[in-house]
Amino acid sequence: MRLHRLEITAFGPFATTQTVDFDALSPAGLFLLHGPTGAGKTSVLDAVCFALYGSVPGARQTPGGSLRSDHAAVGTSTEVLLELTVGERRLEITRRPAQQRPKKRGGGFTTEKAQTWLRERDPATGEWTGLSKSHQEIGEEITQLLGMSRDQFCQVVLLPQGDFARFLRADAEARGKLLGRLFDTRRFAAVEDRLAELRLAAQRQVEEGDRRLLALAERMAQAAGGLGAARTPVEGKPGDPGLAGTVLTWGAVARTEAREAVDRASVRLAAAEERQAAARAALDAERDLAERQARHAEALLRRERLTARAAERDRDQEALDRSLKADRVAPALGLRRDAERAHAAALDARERALAVLPERLADAGAEQLSALEHRLRAELGALDSARRAERRAALLAEERSVLDREARADEDALEDAAGWLADWEPRRVALAARVEAAQEAAARAEHLAGRLEPARRRLAAARRRDALAEDVLAAEERLAAARERRNTAHEEWLDVKSRRLRGIAAELAASLAPGAPCQVCGSADHPAPARATADHVDRATEEAAYAAYTRAEENRTAAERDLAVTRESWSAARTEVLSPAPATDGHDRAAEPTVAELADVVAGLEREHAEAHALAARTHTAREALARAGREYEERVAAQREAERRVAARTSRREALDRERAALDEELVRGRGEFATVAEHATRLERRIATLVGAAGAVRDAELAAQRLKEADDRLADAAYRAGFTTPAEAAAALLGDTERRALQRRVDAWQAEAAAVADRLAEPATRAAAACPPADLETAAAAHDTAERALRGAASALAAARERARDLASLSRQAETEVRRLGPLRAEHDRVARLATLTAGTSAENERRMRLESYVLAARLEQVAAAATARLRRMSSGRYTLVHSDARSGGKRAGLGLHVVDAWTGNERDTATLSGGETFFASLALALGLADVVTEEAGGVRLDTLFIDEGFGSLDDQTLDEVLDVLDSLRERDRSVGIVSHVADLKRRVPAQLEVVKGRRGSSVRLRTDGEALGG
């Protein structure tokens, strides 16, 4: 990947379009990106990352943060364009984040969605071709071409030196998080989690099976109650080894005991059945004798009762015979009774019908009444025309009443419409004013929202500025104290070193021995060895003083670095507070406002925005009210016109009704006569006609009923004589009803049947023989039979219980065997998965170093990184230091991610935290470059022709700086360029190609320089 050109517009501190020509910087190999604190050096790297991935590095991607420059003009869109080559393809990426822009119509702002464009240049024609405008497609294309995620890109291409200093000194946990993110070892962690899940699942299945097996064992123990096996039930818990064998063995013993108990119960049941059969036979014999003796006694008693009822039976038979003769007279008797009832009813109806007629018609015959009826019907027919006229007159009156009601309703509607329409114009003007006021409030609320967010950011920056001002004072005090301690330690070390040098002769003389050569002159004679003075110090004291001085120097350097960082943060906060703000905020832009002043401004803007937003929220309601009023106006006008039309039509209709009513009144006077209405006259005639019709019919029915009664009397007298009765009354007395006759016949038949049954019973031989025997003894036989029956039921119940127990034990044993067979594969699977899970989790005894699978993979990656970093670290440290990976455990933690440094001067391996500030920088830089190489290989060997290294060079001395720059210069192999982001002034002299970021009140700008000459800005 090689960067060619970067264009930044309204992004971060850059208000206008700034162009970075990487093609002009790349030939030098090394180029310097420098500028004052807060100018925007890091924003250049953020722009590169945003163009590629649509977001800035994670540490600077704050939630809800905006990438837009506060210095940019309102009409200028925030945009980043990056031209680069990846895999022999020349691409151009343009991105715009979501941002506020002025509305095209009206005032205020609207949110413009994020946009992205990807183009590719044809190498043959040089023309650009659009590839996509989709965020997702472009993101997938760039990630696939680079072979790296955003986090990997920020760690490999934008080398964050500060992060690697922490990585160098971090513990295994923090180091594992970064490596896991860069090398994406989540799949190995997923394997560990999956194996752990499988282990728990398999364990649950096995324990569940054991619980079912123990439940079966408990049920078998309950079923085996009373057996010897029930006294020693199975004991154990889920997961116990050998549980299955114990349960099966116990079940086999219980089944054997149950079968033996069944055999014993069968023998006892057979004996009880024999005793019960003998007792049953004896009881049946006694019962038979008792029954035959009772039958004989009962027959004698029944014969006596029949003799007592013989006279009654003869009377019943005589009554039945007379009833049969009277049946021949029954039809004539029925006809006589019917004719008598009909005659009485007809006479009663005739009396009631004649009672309602005038007295002069009390003795009138049927023909006279019919003639009067015909005259009244003729009179009724003459009233039909008058009745039709009366009905029409009623309809006319009803229609006239409806017209009067409608006229009153239309008058009320016209009056209401006139009153409402008189107030229409003032109401319309008021509603339109409400709509206009709400729209103006909406525009004002949107404008205030655009001013409110910058004011809030300035307030937050002012609070950070005040807090950081105190931190700066504290950091300055710590730096002064560190400098004082460093100077003191330096003087003490120089003093100790001077005293040791003054007494070095005595120190050498202390090691002389008689006959041994001198270390200085080589002589074996030592006539006057030097003596140590009182203030002489040894080498250990000098080294201790030097170590104290070195620590003080490191503390001073750290204090200077902390002060610089704190001042940079404070300056950035001041810059943000002093950033351009609306002129209406009430402050002089040249002055630095206080937190209280900015808080008042924010509170005022929030209050105004809330008021405007509340008023703007009523826009829809006001518009709806105006629209409803307009619709009601149109409805009122239409209703007024319709009412006026109905009034005109109703006048002509009322006149036509009046003329028709006058013509009908003359005919109605003739038809009513002496009655109030024609209908009343007609109703009176209809009632009189109906009365005459009923009376004539009743008279005719009475005459006919008298004739029928006389004929019935004659037929009845003749029938009684022929049947043998003297009078019809005698025949009627002998006549019986069906119910009474059936009762007499049943009594006669019952007496005869009982007499035959008693004779048969007394003639039976067995009955006569039983009468001659002694009385039967049922109580003794029944008691013996009950005793044998109870014994049989007890034996049968015992056998059934034994068989049921045997069946239950056999069934439960088969279930237990099935469960054991089903649990076999589950136990084998659990053992296999548990072994793998504990091995990958680092808790198995087979895993000697207690390393998890993910840690093992990361350890291999870390070993590769340490090897790649060592190649450069040896050169930077003049061959002194080597980075090595360690598998050793630290305390109770697991092993695998240790990182140590080997000092060639001492040959000892020590912790990376013991490195000095400068040593830490070049060690972390070598680690960063080594990690970049390994991640690049992991990503598929993507060629990285442009790299950036961020800060840290100020901690190096001149010689080390030269060596580090030589290593970085070696990265230029195969046309690679490296950008250094630093404040170190000496780098401006050592690195000719420079990209300078210049800070200004109206935004930052960039300038390119090669050999000290400006190329553009």
Helix (H, G, I), strand (E, B) or coil at 159: strand
Strand partners, 159: 949
- Residues 6 or more apart whose Cβ sits within 8 Å of residue 284: none
DSSP-derived secondary structure for 261-299? HHHHHHHHHHHHHHHHHHHHHHHHHHHHHHHHHHHHHHH
- Residues 958-1000 pLDDT 10s: 666 666 676 666 655 545 677 788 777 777 777 888 888 898 8
C-beta of residue 114 within 8 angstroms of C-beta of residue 35: no
Using alpha carbons, select from 75, 108, 969, 1017 the residue that is nearest to residue 612: 108
Residue 734 has pLDDT above 90, yes or no: no
Decide: 49 and 55 in contact? Cβ < 8 Å: yes
- Of 117, 120, 76, 124, nearest to 100 by C-alpha is 76
Res. 8 pLDDT band, cuts 50 70 90: very high
Give the residue from 553, 554, 550, 535 showing the smallest Cα distance to 496: 535
Q: At 135, list the tokens.
A: 């965020």
Got the DSSP string for 413-447?
Answer: HHHHHHHHHHTHHHHHHHHHHHHHHHHHHHHHHHH
Asked if pLDDT for residue 92 goes beyond 90, the answer is yes
pLDDT for the residue 925: 73
Question: Which pLDDT band holds residue 1014 (cuts at 50, 70, 90)?
Answer: very low
**pLDDT tens digit sequence for 912-943:** 777 776 677 767 777 777 776 776 666 554 56
- For residues 566 and 64, the model is more confident at 566
**Side chain identity at 951, as an amino acid letter?**
E
Note the pLDDT tens digit of each residue in 781-812.
788 888 888 887 887 887 777 777 778 777 77
Q: What is the pLDDT of residues 121-155, one digit of tens each?
A: 988 888 998 888 888 888 888 887 877 777 767 76
**pLDDT exceeds 80 at position 870:** yes
What's the whole-number mean pLDDT along residues 249-264? 75
Q: Give the C-alpha separation, 943 to 507, whole Å.
A: 60
Instruction: Determine the average pLDDT of the residues in 271-290.
Output: 80
Contacts by residues 989-992 (CB-CB < 8 Å, ≥ 24 positions apart):
990/961, 990/965, 991/28, 991/30, 991/31, 991/32, 991/965, 992/28
Separation between Cα atoms, residue 768 and residue 763, nearest integer Å: 8
Would the pLDDT of 27 be above 50? Answer: yes
pLDDT at 447: 83
- pLDDT score recorded for residue 587: 46
Task: Give the residue-averaged pLDDT of 146-166.
Answer: 66
pLDDT winner (highest mean) among 471-475, 572-576, 677-681, 829-833? 471-475
Q: CB-based contacts of 993: which residues, under 8 Å, 6+ apart?
A: 25, 27, 28, 30, 31, 32, 1009, 1010
pLDDT band at 110 (very low <50, low <70, confident <90, very high): confident
Structure tokens at 796: 């049968």
Q: Is the pLDDT of residue 117 over 80?
A: yes
pLDDT band at 582 (very low <50, low <70, confident <90, very high): very low
CA dihedral angle for residue 952, residue 954, residue 956, residue 958, rounded to 10 degrees: 140
Nearest to 882 by CA among 854, 909, 902: 902
Per residue in 508-547, pLDDT tens? 666 677 767 766 666 666 676 766 666 677 778 888 888 8
pLDDT band for 583, please (50, 70, 90 cuts).
very low
Q: Which helix (H) or strand (E) holds 799?
A: helix 778-841
Residue type for 738, please?
D
pLDDT (0 to 100) of residue 586: 44
The average pLDDT across 719-748 equals 77
Contacts of 330 by beta carbon, 8 Å cutoff, 6+ apart: 735
What average pLDDT is seen over the chain? 76
What is the radius of gyration, based on Cα positions, of the chain?
64
Q: How confident is the model at residue 362 (pLDDT cuts 50, 70, 90)?
A: low
